[in-house]
Structure 1
Amino acid sequence: MTYRVGVVGGGQLARMMIAPAVELGVEIRVLAEAEGMSAALAATAVGDYHDADTVLAFARGVDVVTFDHEHVPQPVLRALVDAGVAVHPGPDALQFAQDKILMRTRLAELGVPQPDWAAVSDADGLQEFVDAHGGRAVVKTPRGGYDGKGVRVVSHGTEAADWFAALAEDAHGGRLLVEELVDFRRELAQQIARSPRGEIVAYPVVETIQRDGVCSEVLAPAPGAGGRLEDVASAMAGDIAEGLGVTGMLAVELFETTDDRLLVNELAMRPHNSGHWSQDGALTSQFEQHLRAVLDLPLGLTAPHSPWTVMVNVLGGPAEGGLAERVPAAMAAHPGAKIHLYGKDPRPGRKVGHVNVAGDELDEVAYEARAAAAHFG
């Protein structure tokens, strides 16, 4: 029997599912948004994921549909389910990754710790929240934001006037999400996988380092994260996965506050940048694990190979020349580094690859990963 997985979205996450699929004997197909995308290494169809007929035609050739991103519209997802297609994660779960106000509402119902928040529909409502929370707050567009996009720190209600005007025309409503500006020590991420039969495995909690709203580095495991912190983070993620009905990989981005609390920041229901370290640092990578989970196969072990793994993103790439031509020099200077390029053209701020280094000493591992990644800058 050959399992067939269809991935909607042709970005780097779909690309990085290809190698483990081949190793597992899984046939993988991709519905890409355009020609020449990262995942073109797989059997790729090109089509509009907003169009139900296009996605249904793609789904007829696979056993399960999963995703490179969370942007497929709910009517399209519902049409797949109504047609009897196995969809993981399903629309009932994905809605909470697609709409941050829905997410906050559902997490509150589940009793999950999170920042104080409100849904506001005008500048007066935003100003009221800001005044009640020390004069500053974080405003987010409920849908579509990622990597720092759709996020602002404001001190006055008028600072989101353009977003209110744009959302007034949105079919989903004109509200913005506003959250308290959390006083946090560091940002963490907890990944778990959950299969349709309910099996759950957790990865070590990691520390994520952000620059300009984009993940720059991941330290795995998070320094000093043993014991209670690790137990709380994994239990929280498990409760969220079960409460939301997530199947596949789930990444829970967390704030570790200065008073030692863990608060949920964001959710991602797919492989995630915070888990790229697992390709070279864990017994089962997040990409293999996602395939196992969506196919309802037994899940793999998540233990690290080495005491430390550091992932450094390659952001933007070189101002002149390509990425591939720089690989030999990076390999020669840093033979322990594992280089992953996404087949993307360099562009300021764009994620075009990452480097993983594993080893026994955190400082040495971090230095090697940063130095190897610098070859591509």
Structure 2
Amino acid sequence: MSIRVGVIGGGQLARMMIPAAVDLGVDIRVLAEQEGMSAKLAAVEVGDYRDAATVLAFAKTVDVITFDHEHVPQAVLHALVDAGVHVHPGPDALAVAQDKLLMRERLTELGLPVPDWARVSDAAELQVFLDAHGGRGVVKTPRGGYDGKGVRVVSGADEVADWFTALSEDANGGSLLVEELVSFRRELAQLVARRPSGEVVPWPVVETVQRDGVCSEVIAPAPHSAGRLADVAGEIASTIATELGVTGVLAVELFETTDDRLLINELAMRPHNSGHWTQNGSVTSQFEQHLRAVLDLPLGWTGSHQDWTVMVNVLGGPVGESLDDRFGAVMAEHPSAKVHTYGKEPRPGRKVGHVNVASDDLDDAVYTARAAAALLGAENA
């Protein structure tokens, strides 16, 4: 019998683990939130990931549990561990990815570079921080935000009055996270993978281009990153993975500041949008590496096939059409482009797929990836 990996969450990340699992001879099974999700090809059960009984029943059918997202409640995660289930990444590591305030606290304790930040529970505390930081700041909800949601750049405490009202009405109370508004040249991402026995392997640091808070493009490796910048980014991510006990893929989103520092923005403990380029640009993709890591198998080489790989997300997609209807045109006009789709219906702003192009010429890779994404109806191309 083959090894059985269970993935909680039926989104596109679970979907893209399927080919890697087939290649590795791994039986992959998915607990999807609802019928018809991206990973429906491997979904063996539909159920609520917030319900411990449902998740425990699913776990009995597999040898190890991993995740398509970080939203599984801590109580459910601990119930799995208490039942003897192999969970990667584990509850303690995931807690840091689930709560931005806890993340900032732990990274600060480790002496890692983060923006100046504070925990604020009311408008007065927020205004004190803003006054001390040039009158502006970035306010984030500690839980649940993604792709720009739960994040506001503010110049006054009144601009998040609704969030403070929601906190006051919550029986558990709570606080918001406020950070300095960082002056940065560009955004970067450093991915590493770590297995339970401790081996850590990085990919090259990449540059990410955001559009309305959503990743639009990735260039691998980040231009002008060889040397110290790449070394520091890799060291930051490896330290986080080791000190927090992360198992599987870890993505560290970074700011390269105008005064030549690297500051940690966000963490993700799973395959990540900034790593999709590895499917066609790296000897070992992030999806294969994640499976290797959670199974505690030796990690693969992360060297690149060609000098550059560019990934362009397909946001929105063709209105009233399926992406499949556009494949022929893309293949005919851009045969070097590799199209990956998520089985989702197009709608404005939605990630419905991405295009990868690997080349020894960066301009060629950028042009081809953008042109192919445009043919697919990407609103960001």
The verdict on a shared fold, with TM-score over 0.5 as the criterion, is: yes
Q: For the structure 1 residues 64 and 170, does the alpha-carbon distance in structure 2 shift closer, same or farther, using more than 3 Å as the test?
A: farther
User: Counterpart of 1:376?
Assistant: 376
User: Counterpart of 1:134?
Assistant: 134
AA aligned opposite 1:366: V
Rounded to whole Å, the distance in 2 between the matches of 1:76 and 1:38 is 23
AA aligned opposite 1:63: D
Deviation >3 Å, runs of 4+: 169-173
Secondary structure of the 2:102 match is: helix
Q: Does 1:362 align with 2:367?
A: no
User: Counterpart of 2:342?
Assistant: 342
AA aligned opposite 1:24: L
Deviation readout 1:249-297 (Å, 9 max, x if unpaired): 0000000000100000000000000000000000000000000000000
Rounded to whole Å, the distance in 1 between the matches of 2:134 and 2:311 is 35
User: Counterpart of 1:146?
Assistant: 146
Q: Structure 2: where are the runs of 5+ without partners?
A: none
User: Counterpart of 2:240?
Assistant: 240
AA aligned opposite 2:40: A
Rounded to whole Å, the distance in 2 between the matches of 1:209 and 1:28 is 32
Give the 5 Å matches for 1:198-213: 198-213=198-213
Rounded to whole Å, the distance in 1 between the matches of 2:300 and 2:103 is 28
Q: Does 1:50 align with 2:36?
A: no
Give the 5 Å matches for 1:196-345: 196-345=196-345
User: Counterpart of 1:180?
Assistant: 180
AA aligned opposite 2:289: Q
User: Counterpart of 2:113?
Assistant: 113
Question: Deviation of residue 172 (structure 1)?
Answer: 5.3
Secondary structure of the 1:39 match is: coil
User: Counterpart of 2:21?
Assistant: 21
Question: Deviation of residue 363 (structure 1)?
Answer: 0.7
CA contact (8 A) 1:189 1:207 kept: yes
Question: Deviation of residue 321 (structure 1)?
Answer: 1.4
User: Counterpart of 2:161?
Assistant: 161
Rounded to whole Å, the distance in 2 between the matches of 1:186 and 1:171 is 40
Q: For the structure 1 residues 281 and 136, does the alpha-carbon distance in structure 2 shift closer, same or farther, using more than 3 Å as the test?
A: same
AA aligned opposite 1:316: G
Rounded to whole Å, the distance in 1 between the matches of 2:22 and 2:137 is 46
AA aligned opposite 2:81: V
User: Counterpart of 2:59?
Assistant: 59
Question: Deviation of residue 171 (structure 1)?
Answer: 5.7
Question: Deviation of residue 243 (structure 1)?
Answer: 1.2
How many equivalent residue pairs?
Answer: 377
Secondary structure of the 1:147 match is: coil
Rounded to whole Å, the distance in 2 between the matches of 1:201 and 1:172 is 40
Rounded to whole Å, the distance in 1 between the matches of 2:297 and 2:265 is 30
User: Counterpart of 1:72?
Assistant: 72
Secondary structure of the 1:62 match is: coil
Rounded to whole Å, the distance in 2 between the matches of 1:121 and 1:203 is 38
Rounded to whole Å, the distance in 2 between the matches of 1:335 and 1:171 is 56
TM-score (normalizing by structure 2): 0.98
Rounded to whole Å, the distance in 1 between the matches of 2:214 and 2:226 is 26
Question: Deviation of residue 320 (structure 1)?
Answer: 2.5
AA aligned opposite 1:177: L
AA aligned opposite 1:231: D
AA aligned opposite 1:242: T
Deviation readout 1:109-140 (Å, 9 max, x if unpaired): 00000000001001111111111101110000
User: Counterpart of 1:33?
Assistant: 33
AA aligned opposite 1:123: A
Rounded to whole Å, the distance in 2 between the matches of 1:171 and 1:192 is 38
Moved more, 42-51 or 3-12: 42-51
CA contact (8 A) 1:164 1:174 kept: no
Rounded to whole Å, the distance in 2 between the matches of 1:366 and 1:44 is 38
Deviation readout 1:57-115 (Å, 9 max, x if unpaired): 00001110000000000000000000000000000000000000000000000000000
Secondary structure of the 2:177 match is: strand
Question: Deviation of residue 213 (structure 1)?
Answer: 0.2
Rounded to whole Å, the distance in 1 between the matches of 2:65 and 2:371 is 38
Deviation readout 1:134-185 (Å, 9 max, x if unpaired): 1110000000000000000000011111011112344653200000000000
Rounded to whole Å, the distance in 2 between the matches of 1:333 and 1:241 is 42
Q: What is the Cα-based RMSD across aligned positions, in Å?
A: 0.8
User: Counterpart of 1:124?
Assistant: 124
Deviation readout 1:211-243 (Å, 9 max, x if unpaired): 000000000000000000000000010111111
